[in-house]
């Protein structure tokens, strides 16, 4: 920040490092989209009709959007939050009525030659409103009432998005749990319990439920033995064991009756319970082959046969990481993951340096959403989470996704640039 003029640009200290990361990710995305749709028979240099041609336009307009986000007065975002939230909810209802069905999800609103995906913008609106509401409560001690209202703010879009059968986008909102954690609404134990629940869920599906209960009983038994002098601890352990047992026993029921069959199949594929590389497991199988065949250095730009010849499905959107893995290898994958991790840690640092609770909570919301997309998107391409159709922020092809993530990020940067002023 040596240049005083630049410091004053957009009315504050703009975090150029984050902007650089954002831009690098966009460029990486563009090249990989080009590789993914590259047709070796017609290697035309550049065409606006192709995905990478369109993505150039999207990136260009994202830059304009980014600048606009930095120009707008920071107070505006705070004041518009309820309106924006209401508007998004309205759009989510509209999309249920007039939405175009794309790939099984009824989540697009056709607008002329252009399609709008309201769920992308719901993340932004939810973050803003949640930040506004929780920051308004920040001078009190966290209480159940504000927790419930906060959760309600996050859950309303979840319900509406789920109605569009867009499970992936709905799950994103659950990442906001870290916001509540950071703000003290949830204690570390609950985080631990949540993690344990996920672990038990997976273990129960992989192994027999009775085997899981048996192991739990053994662990509790050891615990009871070690703390045999403390009655209270024993009661707690027994209570925990009882809860866990009920939970484990209910897993199968929930799995078979609440989840839809294609969700079950996707989970079964990841758990290795379905071995069907031609049917249910085809996408994952081809995705792993693409990434695995990249080896250390990758096959080279435009040399990935898995992506070039369309073995990988959705390769410029949800499975864009396959192109990275295949053509740039382990080295390229590590670079991309490194960049993402840097971005995420940077955002958390930015969040913590904010003076207002509003800006901090919002920044945490951004971090959570980006983190969830990053972990789930890459995780699904390498087979450690079930296939959930959500894009890799800034890298995947698509205008709606690129713009909404850009807006999300640059509003945060605006707050950060203004952090020394008063919001």
d(CA 95, CA 118): 8
d(CA 277, CA 163): 30
> Using CB atoms within 10 A of its CB, is residue 352 exposed (0-12), middle (13-18) or buried (19+)?
exposed
Dihedral-angle region of residue 26 (phi above 0 means left; psi in -120 to 50 means alpha; beta otherwise): alpha
Q: Which is nearer to other proteins, 89 or 357 (CB)?
A: 357
Beta sheet of 114-116, edge-to-edge order: 100-102, 105-111, 114-116
Candidates 118, 383, 391, 393: give the one binding other proteins (CB under 8 A). Answer: 383
The minimum distance between CB 382 and other proteins, in angstroms, equals 5
The minimum distance between CB 116 and other proteins, in angstroms, equals 31
Question: Would you state the structure tokens that stand for residue 334, as one six-digit string?
Answer: 């590590």
The minimum distance between CB 90 and other proteins, in angstroms, equals 32
Candidates 289, 302, 335, 423: give the one binding other proteins (CB under 8 A). Answer: 289
- 382 is an interface residue for other proteins by CB under 8 A: yes
- 199 is an interface residue for other proteins by CB under 8 A: no
Q: Answer yes or no: are the C-beta atoms of 104 and 66 closer than 8 Å.
A: no
Q: What are the residues facing 103 on neighbouring strands?
A: none
Give the relative orientation of helices 231-257 and 261-271 as an angle to the nearest 10 degrees.
120
Using CB under 8 A, which residues numbered 15 to 44 contact other proteins?
Answer: 40-41
Candidates 66, 92, 288, 369: give the one binding other proteins (CB under 8 A). Answer: 288
HSE toward the beta carbon, residue 422, CA cutoff 13 A: 0
For the chain, the distance separating the N- and C-terminal CA atoms, rounded to the nearest angstrom, is 22
The minimum distance between CB 177 and other proteins, in angstroms, equals 10
Candidates 23, 174, 181, 255: give the one binding other proteins (CB under 8 A). Answer: 181
- 327 is an interface residue for other proteins by CB under 8 A: no
Query: Cα dihedral angle (144, 146, 149, 151), rounded to 10 degrees?
Result: -70
Candidates 34, 123, 132, 182: give the one binding other proteins (CB under 8 A). Answer: 182
Q: Which is nearer to other proteins, 91 or 186 (CB)?
A: 186
- 375 is an interface residue for other proteins by CB under 8 A: yes
Candidates 178, 397, 405, 415: give the one binding other proteins (CB under 8 A). Answer: 178
DSSP conformational letter for 301: T
Binding mask 38-77 for other proteins (x = CB under 8 A): --xx------------------------------------
Q: Which is nearer to other proteins, 104 or 184 (CB)?
A: 184
DSSP conformational letter for 72: S
Cβ neighbours of residue 252 closer than 8 Å, sequence gap 6 or more: 204, 209
Question: Would you state the structure tokens that stand for residue 282, as one six-digit string?
Answer: 């085809």
Distances (CA, A) of 122 to 55, 94, 99, 153: 22, 13, 15, 11
Site stretch for other proteins (CB under 8 A), options 90-98, 227-235, 249-257, 337-345: 337-345
- 203 is an interface residue for other proteins by CB under 8 A: no
Distances (CA, A) of 155 to 78, 127, 149: 20, 12, 10
- 293 is an interface residue for other proteins by CB under 8 A: yes
Candidates 103, 104, 184, 279: give the one binding other proteins (CB under 8 A). Answer: 184
d(CA 125, CA 361): 13
Candidates 188, 189, 257, 261: give the one binding other proteins (CB under 8 A). Answer: 188
The minimum distance between CB 335 and other proteins, in angstroms, equals 11
Four-residue CA torsion sign, 175, 180, 184, 187? negative
- 334 is an interface residue for other proteins by CB under 8 A: yes
- 303 is an interface residue for other proteins by CB under 8 A: no
Using CB under 8 A, which residues numbered 221 to 260 contact other proteins?
Answer: none
- 339 is an interface residue for other proteins by CB under 8 A: no
Catalog residues that contact other proteins under the rule CB under 8 A: 40-41, 138, 178, 181-184, 188, 191, 286, 288-296, 305-306, 308-311, 325-326, 329-330, 333-334, 337, 340-341, 344-345, 348-349, 351-352, 364, 367, 371, 375, 378-379, 382-384
């Amino acid at each position: 920040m040596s240049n005083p003029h630049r410091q004053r640009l957009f009315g504050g200290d703009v975090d150029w490092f984050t902007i650089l990361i954002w831009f690098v990710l966009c460029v990486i995305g563009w090249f990989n989209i080009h590789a993914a749709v590259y047709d070796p028979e017609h290697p035309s240099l550049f065409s606006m009709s192709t995905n990478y041609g369109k993505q150039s336009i999207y990136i260009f307009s994202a830059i304009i959007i980014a600048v606009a986000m930095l120009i707008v007065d920071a107070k505006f975002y705070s004041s518009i939050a309820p309106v924006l939230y209401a508007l998004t909810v309205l759009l989510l209802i509209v999309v249920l009525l007039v939405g175009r069905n794309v790939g099984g999800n009824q989540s697009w609103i056709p607008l002329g030659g252009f399609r709008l995906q309201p769920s992308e913008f719901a993340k932004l609106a939810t973050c803003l409103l949640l930040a506004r509401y929780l920051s308004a409560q920040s001078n009190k001690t966290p209480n159940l009432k504000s927790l419930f209202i906060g959760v309600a703010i996050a859950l309303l879009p979840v319900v509406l998005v789920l109605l569009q059968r867009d499970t992936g986008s709905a799950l994103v909102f659950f990442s906001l749990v870290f916001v509540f954690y950071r703000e003290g609404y949830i204690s570390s134990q609950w985080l631990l319990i949540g993690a344990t629940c996920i672990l038990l869920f997976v273990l129960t599906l992989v192994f027999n439920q009775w085997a899981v209960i048996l192991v739990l009983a053994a662990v509790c038994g050891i615990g009871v033995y070690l703390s045999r002098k403390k009655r209270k601890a024993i009661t707690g352990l027994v209570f925990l064991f009882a809860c866990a047992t009920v939970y484990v026993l209910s897993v199968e029921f929930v799995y078979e009756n609440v989840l839809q069959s294609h969700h079950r199949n996707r989970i079964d594929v990841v758990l290795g319970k379905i071995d069907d590389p031609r049917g249910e497991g085809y996408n994952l199988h081809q995705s792993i082959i693409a990434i695995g065949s990249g080896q250390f250095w990758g096959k080279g730009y435009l040399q990935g046969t898995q992506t070039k010849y369309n073995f990988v499905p959705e390769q410029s959107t949800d499975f864009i990481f396959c192109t990275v893995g295949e053509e740039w290898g382990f080295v390229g994958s590590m670079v991309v993951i490194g960049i993402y991790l840097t971005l995420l840690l940077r955002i958390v640092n930015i969040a913590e340096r904010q003076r207002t609770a509003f800006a901090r909570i919002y920044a945490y919301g951004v971090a959570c959403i980006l983190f969830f997309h990053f972990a789930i998107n890459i995780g699904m391409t390498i087979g450690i989470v079930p296939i959930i159709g959500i894009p890799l922020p800034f890298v995947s092809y698509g205008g709606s996704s690129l713009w909404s993530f850009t807006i999300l990020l640059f509003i945060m940067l605006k707050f950060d640039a203004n952090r020394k002023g008063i919001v």
